[in-house]
A and B are shown apart, each in its own frame.
Chain A
Amino acid sequence: MLEKWKSRPLYQPLLLGAVTLLASASLAWAASATREAIARAEERDLRDALAQVLPEGFADNDLAAASAGVDMGAAAPVTVYRARRAGVVEGAVFEVSGKGYGGEIVILMAVDKAGTLLGVRVLKHTETPGLGDKIEAKKSGWIDNFAGKALGTAAWAVKKDGGDFDQFAGATITPRAVVEAVKKGLETFARHKAAILGESS
């Protein structure tokens, strides 16, 4: 009986429709079952990253909850996390991005209210493994060189270009992109300082 039906033209859309309906239902169920856990995991990631760029004890507030969208002249507002100590804003953490050898490099940087870097971490990149990936904190200590530097106190280029930052053997484009992106981030900070720190201007 079924065998005869299975070759009929009408059977095909009915079968495919039923399978698609069941698949969609299970996807909807899985999405709602995992939504909260995924949001929690992503928030934990964010807290980890924030804890890495800020020195211990620098802030006493919950940074992940102290976010605000700030218009920095870009197309979309940039999310800024404000670090407060005893209620006073002492610094801010925000993302910048640069164009590396293999694509976009997303960088998280923390700046104190005077414009000095507290810490920098690369969140996402697609640079060449073994060459450009030394920008990751777990591969080398290069990224820690940024802490303590400010716009006026360092030459913001790699050594090959006459600056203060080491390039890697066989890879100049990647560190150059990171240095440039961080420099641009500091310049943006200087331009929009009041808005970033949330002070009424």
Chain B
Amino acid sequence: MSTNAATLVRDGLWNNNVVFAQMLALCPTMAVTTSGANGLGMGLATTAVLLVSNVLVALIRGIVSEQARIPVFIVLIASLVTVVDMALNAWLHELYKVLGLFIALIVVNCAILGRAEAFASRNAVAAAFIDGLSMGIGFTLALVVIGLIREMLGSGTLFAQASQLLGANFAFLETRLHDRGGALLMILPPGAFAAMGFLLAGKRVLDERLAPAR
């Protein structure tokens, strides 16, 4: 596996995107993407955890044995998420009220364990850091795109309530496209599968078109 920084970033954002290529973390992806703001919140929280867990795993990779690595990583990730949960609740309480539900979900996000196992446990700290960051941003982008599509079709808004997540300065992001509401189905679970399916197909087509050029 290459540890070239540019390759790592390209992998994380597109070629090996957590959602659209590795097909990992689909449970939180489907569950929280009812709006762009929700997707963004979950994506950012996951990125933070992924970054720290990747660095920690890369740091201790020398003493972790092949046989005990999975439970060691799980203990590490679960503790990390719990600390993040408590810290957000204490010091960023408004954000916690919006994200609270998602934080605990990060523990079961298999993408975190996946990166620890597939990448961070075999690479140096710096590479693990870049990998965590680009995988996290790739995940965030996927969630925001799915969230925006569902929100646009389902409730006719874009980034509704983003200012609750990002602060009042970001209220300009909140767009109301029309007042007629929308196809409720897109907000409900089937909408997640539909949006995800079309995006996945779209990425495949795009990749195939681009393939000869490379």
User: B-contacting residues of A (Cβ < 8 Å)?
Assistant: 2, 6-7, 11-12, 15-16, 19-20, 23-24, 26-27, 30-31, 33-34, 37-38, 41, 44-45, 128-131, 170
Question: B3-11, B19-27, B61-69: which one contacts chain A?
Answer: B61-69
How many chain B residues touch A (Cβ–Cβ < 8 Å)?
Answer: 31
Cβ contact of A11, chosen from B65, B90, B96, cutoff 8 A: B65
Q: Please give, as numbers and ranges, the residues of chain B lying within 8 Å of A33 by CB-CB distance.
A: 90
Instruction: Mark each residue of chain B from 86 to 102: 1 if its CB lies under 8 Å from any CB of chain A, else 0.
Output: 11011101001100000
Complex Cα gap A33–B87 (Å): 9
| B184→A19 contact, CB < 8 A | no
| A19→B72 contact, CB < 8 A | yes
Q: Which residue of chain A has the shortest Cβ distance to B101 in the bound complex?
A: A126
Q: Please give, as numbers and ranges, the residues of chain B lying within 8 Å of A38 by CB-CB distance.
A: 86, 89-90
Cβ contact of B68, chosen from A12, A24, A170, cutoff 8 A: A12
Q: Which residue of chain A has the shortest Cβ distance to B84 in the bound complex?
A: A30
| B82→A20 contact, CB < 8 A | no
Tell me what chain B mostly uses at the interface: helix, strand, loop, or mixed: helix
Shortest C-beta distance, A123 to chain B (Å), equals 11
Q: Please give, as numbers and ranges, the residues of chain A lying within 8 Å of B76 by CB-CB distance.
A: 19, 23
Complex Cα gap A38–B83 (Å): 13
| B184→A131 contact, CB < 8 A | yes
Q: Which residue of chain B has the shortest Cβ distance to A170 in the bound complex?
A: B184
Shortest C-beta distance, A82 to chain B (Å), equals 26
Complex Cα gap A152–B184 (Å): 38
Complex Cα gap A131–B90 (Å): 32
- Within 8 Å of chain A (Cβ to Cβ): is B188? yes
Cβ contact of A15, chosen from B68, B78, B82, B181, cutoff 8 A: B68
- Within 8 Å of chain A (Cβ to Cβ): is B168? no
Complex Cα gap A6–B90 (Å): 40
* Given A41-B93, A44-B93, residue A30 in contact with residue B66 (CB < 8 A): no
Between-chain CB contacts (< 8 Å), 11 pairs: A7-B65, A7-B67, A15-B68, A15-B72, A16-B72, A19-B72, A24-B79, A34-B91, A41-B89, A45-B97, A170-B184
| B90→A34 contact, CB < 8 A | yes
Complex Cα gap A26–B64 (Å): 19
Interface residues in B107-163 (C-beta closer than 8 Å to A): 154-155
Complex Cα gap A15–B154 (Å): 50
Q: Please give, as numbers and ranges, the residues of chain A lying within 8 Å of B212 by CB-CB distance.
A: none
Shortest C-beta distance, B135 to chain A (Å), equals 23
Which 8 residue pairs across A and B have the least CB separation, nearest first? Answer: A37-B90, A34-B90, A41-B93, A23-B79, A6-B65, A12-B68, A30-B83, A34-B86
| B93→A130 contact, CB < 8 A | no
Shortest C-beta distance, A79 to chain B (Å), equals 20
Cβ contact of B67, chosen from A2, A12, A26, A170, cutoff 8 A: A12
Shortest C-beta distance, A44 to chain B (Å), equals 7
> Told that A23-B79, A44-B93 touch, could you supply 8 new A-B pairs with CB distance under 8 A?
A2-B63, A7-B65, A15-B64, A15-B68, A26-B79, A27-B82, A30-B82, A128-B188
Q: Please give, as numbers and ranges, the residues of chain A lying within 8 Å of B66 by CB-CB distance.
A: 6-7
| A27→B79 contact, CB < 8 A | yes
Cβ contact of A26, chosen from B34, B71, B83, B93, cutoff 8 A: B83
| B62→A2 contact, CB < 8 A | yes
